[in-house]
Structure 1
Amino acid sequence: MSVLKLKLDQDQLVEDFFEDTFLVGIASSARDYQLCWQLNRQLHFDFRVNNSLEIKLTKGARSFYFPVFDFLEPTKTVEHYLYNNHCKGEFLLPELKHIHYIWLIKGNYYQQEDIKKLIELLRYVEMVQLVSLLDIRDIKNKMNLIF
């Protein structure tokens, strides 16, 4: 009797998850809830912490929890996720240590020009020091963003 083993195709999972997405890196010394409050107030979003999406990474005997805030644009079928990249000296994406927050925009409504406009608006948000468009191909730890 043979046992069927299922293997998760991580490459396909990553490709599917990041299809029709943009990633924006934000440097800010603000706490995550303060930054979300500013984004909601100044850019008219409605980010809320979503505890069910919180990402747990374990290194040795220690666990690190990275909060995720989300906002759904139902009329545009676009999902926005704001990840905290830092937790007690550890990083969700260690290759982006200078980035405090990662904003993932998922859906096929927005085009490159829309994201460029959003980045320009983000530069004027209080508490935001730096904003940059990230290339998903440059991210080594993509699996850490998948919930």
Structure 2
Amino acid sequence: MTILKLKLDNDQLVEDFFESTYVIGIASTARDYQLGWHINRQLHTNFRVNNHLEITLSKKNRSFHFPVFEFHEPTNSVAHYLYNNRCQAEYLLPELKQISFLWMIKGDYYQPNDVKKLLEELRLVPLVQLVSLLDIRDIKNKMNLIF
């Protein structure tokens, strides 16, 4: 009897997950629900926490839970995800400790000019201190963003 071993191709998984994706880094001292409320109010979005998407990382015999907020645009096939990058003293993306939140846009509707406009609008949101478009190729721990 032959046992077939299946191996997950992480590189292909990452490539597929981040296809047609933009990632925005946000620095803020606000709590995730506060920032979500301000973004919803200012940008007319509808971010809501999705407990099924919460990311759990285990380090040093402890579990750290990183909430993910989700919003789907009703008029096109674009999904938005707002990740909390911090849980106590741990980071979802340790290489981006200065970034408090990550906003991921998934879908091929958005063009670079749309993202630039969104960045400008996001800078006007109360409690937002810094906004930056991130290059996914520069993120070392991108597997941590896959739910």
Identify the TM-score tier after normalising by the shorter chain.
Answer: over 0.9
Percent identical among aligned pairs is 71
Structure 2, unaligned stretches of length 5 or more? none
SS at match of 1:81: strand
How many Å apart are 1:60 and its aligned residue? Answer: 2.0
1:84-99 pair list within 5 angstroms: 84-99=84-99
Match of 2:80 in 1: 80
1:19 aligned onto 2:19: yes
1:130 aligned onto 2:130: yes
Q: Distance in 1 between matches of 2:74 and 2:11?
A: 29
Q: Distance in 2 between matches of 1:66 and 1:91?
A: 9
What's the TM-score once normalised by structure 1's chain length?
Answer: 0.99
Off by >4 Å, runs of 4+ in structure 1: none
Q: Per-residue displacement from partner, 1:70-98 (whole Å, max 9, x unpaired)?
A: 00013111000000000011000000000
How many Å apart are 1:146 and its aligned residue? Answer: 0.2
Q: Distance in 1 between matches of 2:40 and 2:83?
A: 15
SS at match of 1:133: strand
How many Å apart are 1:34 and its aligned residue? Answer: 0.3
SS at match of 1:25: strand
Match of 2:37 in 1: 37
Q: Distance in 2 between matches of 1:76 and 1:55?
A: 26
Q: Per-residue displacement from partner, 1:28-50 (whole Å, max 9, x unpaired)?
A: 00000000000000000000000
Q: Distance in 2 between matches of 1:89 and 1:119?
A: 27
What's the TM-score once normalised by structure 2's chain length?
Answer: 0.99
RMSD: 0.5
1:120 aligned onto 2:128: no
1:110 aligned onto 2:106: no
Greater shift, 67-76 or 84-93, is seen at 67-76
The alignment of Structure 1 onto Structure 2 pairs a total of residues equal to: 147
Match of 1:51 in 2: 51
Match of 2:68 in 1: 68
